[in-house]
Amino acid sequence: MIPLQITVLNVPRSAALEARVVKMAEKLEQFHSRIVSCRVGIEELRRHRSRGRLYHVRIDLRVPGREIVSNHRHGKDPYLALRDAFLSLRRQLEDVARVKRGDVKRHARAGRAARGARP
């Protein structure tokens, strides 16, 4: 179970929104088994008569040795901003896991490559 902290600002608190956050956070464990913490902030930035609402979601995820941050805004729906933020976070988490497993080749520095090349 991931230690999860949910902060909601200027948005009516709902059990459905919090349940969606918990469900999405639990899915992240499939991509990295050593998640230390996850903080999710959901905020309505402005409410304007003609422009409507703007929702902002920020997720801070910690794994050993790294902190991964995802920010997303959506003009109509906090659920869509939440979905996009978690998708971005998942891609970043997959990249971190690939590097940790050694599936990603590291490029040689330019100095070494130039010395090792044939004339």
What confidence score (pLDDT) does residue 20 get? 92
Within a domain: 111: no
Does the structure show a pLDDT above 90 at 113? no
Within a domain: 40: yes
Structural domains of the chain, count: 1
- Is 36 or 118 the better-scoring residue by pLDDT? 36
In three-state form (DSSP H/G/I as H, E/B as E, the rest C), the secondary structure along the chain is: CCCEEEEEECCCCCHHHHHHHHHHHHHHHHCCCCCCEEEEEEEEEEEECCCEEEEEEEEEEEECCEEEEEEEEECCCHHHHHHHHHHHHHHHHHHHHHHHHCCCCCCCCHHHHHHHCCC
Within a domain: 95: yes
Within a domain: 112: no
Within a domain: 113: no
Q: How confident is the model at residue 19 (pLDDT cuts 50, 70, 90)?
A: very high
Does the structure show a pLDDT above 70 at 111? no
Q: What range does the domain containing 58 cover?
A: 4-102
Q: Is 35 exposed, middle or buried (0-12, 13-18, 19+ CB in 10 A)?
A: buried
What confidence score (pLDDT) does residue 35 get? 86
Domain of residue 43, CATH code: 3.30.160.100
Within a domain: 108: no
**Distance in angstroms (rounded) separating the CA atoms of residues 51 and 54:** 9
Does the structure show a pLDDT above 60 at 112? no
What confidence score (pLDDT) does residue 86 get? 93
Render pLDDT for 39-95 as a digit per residue (tens, 0 to 9): 999 998 876 666 677 889 999 999 888 899 998 888 778 899 999 999 999 999 888
